[in-house]
Amino acid sequence: MARRALPARPGPGPVRPDRPDTPPPVIRIRRLTKSYGHGDATVHALRGPDDPATGGPLGVDLDIEQGDFVAVMGSSGSGKSTLMNILGCLDVPTGGRYLLDGIDVGHLDEGQLALVRNRKIGFVFQSFNLVPRTTALAQVELPLAYAGVRAAERRRRALAALSLVGLAERSGHRPNELSGGQQQRVAVARALVTAPAMLLADEPTGNLDSRSTEEVLGLIDGLNATGRTVVLITHEDEVARHAKRVLRLVDGMIVSDLRQAPVDGPPPALHRAGVPA
């Protein structure tokens, strides 16, 4: 497997409040549109405001700072999943530019996109999406294996990630031997094991009971507190309360952008719990 290098970028270390110049945003999208179908049947999943001159969609603009914790809210069909898929390089936009960590994703070929997904993005899905019949340890090792990390190093890092989510003693269990909450924690461990620039979570608590929800959100809060950028999609206000910034999408347009806490601080949930920054 040929390994291709991506353009260099500053390390993902914790954001210091005293930093004089603001780092480049992890995500910068400009006039991003996504439509399905052709002609009259065209559906604009992402459209942004209408262009006053032509009446056509202008596209969505969005910047997400490093270390931010953004919740994207909206009803089903509002385009939030489309946004998430494009942010995760799983889908390609119809129009507009998407810069992830300073790299224009639109110019990458399939192999480079695989590399971007592997190195820069950690996914947490609503339906866990663990590989069937594979032990928790092997699940977490998987992204490292695709990155070409050596077996011993892979094992060490995977075990470290599993103990971070409190599942070190369950490393030999298969998905069908784990509860939903445990499965999602394995998924979180898998998402963070490559130390990605951004954690993308698509309704991570949608299939979980309230206790598991708290556990998983607590993990995500913790990750954000150590400087990891988090983009989380949800339709529950309870979950959105954990974010520093809440975006609301309606019909493919960002209708509100509310900041609940500063970027350079702990996530609001930890702040409320009195954990020092």
Partner 1 sequence: MILWQTLRFAAGGLVANKVRSALTMLGVLIGVASVILLLAVGNGSSVAVKESITSLGTNSLTVTSGSSFGGARSASSAKKLTVADAKALATEADPHAVRSVAPVVTAAGTALNGDISYSPGSIVGTYPAYFETANQKVEHGEYFTQDDVLASRKVAVLGATTAKQLFATADPVGRQIVVGGTPFTVVGVLRAKGGTGFTDPDDVLVAPLPTVQNAFTGFGSVNQIMVQAASADSTAQAQSEITRILLGTHAIADPTKADFRISSQTSLLSARESTTKTFTVLLGAVAAISLLVGGIGITNIMLVTVTERTREIGIRKALGAPRGVILGQFLTEATLLSVVGAGLGVLAGIAGSHFRIVGIEPVVIPESVLGAFGIAVAIGLFFGSYPANRAASLRPIDALRHE
Using CB under 8 A, which residues numbered 158 to 187 contact partner 1? none
Q: Cβ-count burial of 93 within 10 angstroms (0-12 exposed, 13-18 middle, 19+ buried)? A: buried
**Whether 80 contacts 72, CB under 8 Å:** yes
Q: Which of 56, 63, 151, 177 contacts partner 1 by CB under 8 A?
A: 151
- Burial per residue of 28-39, b for 16 or more beta-carbon CB atoms within 10 angstroms, e otherwise: bbeebbbbeeee
The DSSP output letter for 182 is H
> Is residue 6 at the binding interface for partner 1, with CB under 8 A as the rule?
no
Q: Which of 79, 143, 204, 266 contacts partner 1 by CB under 8 A?
A: 143
> Is residue 7 at the binding interface for partner 1, with CB under 8 A as the rule?
no
Residue 143 CB, nearest distance to partner 1 (Å)? Answer: 5
> Is residue 130 at the binding interface for partner 1, with CB under 8 A as the rule?
yes
Q: Which of 42, 56, 90, 163 contacts partner 1 by CB under 8 A?
A: 90
Phi, psi for residue 107 in degrees, rounded to 5: -95, 5
Rounded CA separation 71/257 (Å): 10
186 vs 269, beta carbon nearer partner 1? 186
Residue 272 CB, nearest distance to partner 1 (Å)? Answer: 33
The DSSP output letter for 212 is H
Q: Please give the distance of CA 211 from its chain centroid, rounded to a whole number.
A: 22
- Beta-bridged to residue 100, according to DSSP, are 27, 103
115 vs 240, beta carbon nearer partner 1? 115
Using CB under 8 A, which residues numbered 91 to 110 contact partner 1? 91, 110
List Cα–Cα distances, 61 to 6, 66, 83, in angstroms. 24, 17, 11
> Is residue 1 at the binding interface for partner 1, with CB under 8 A as the rule?
yes
Q: Which of 16, 150, 156, 272 contacts partner 1 by CB under 8 A?
A: 150
Q: Which of 88, 175, 222, 252 contacts partner 1 by CB under 8 A?
A: 88
Which residues form the interface with partner 1 (CB under 8 A)?
A: 1, 85, 88, 90-91, 110-111, 114-119, 123, 125, 129-134, 142-143, 145-148, 150-151, 190, 194
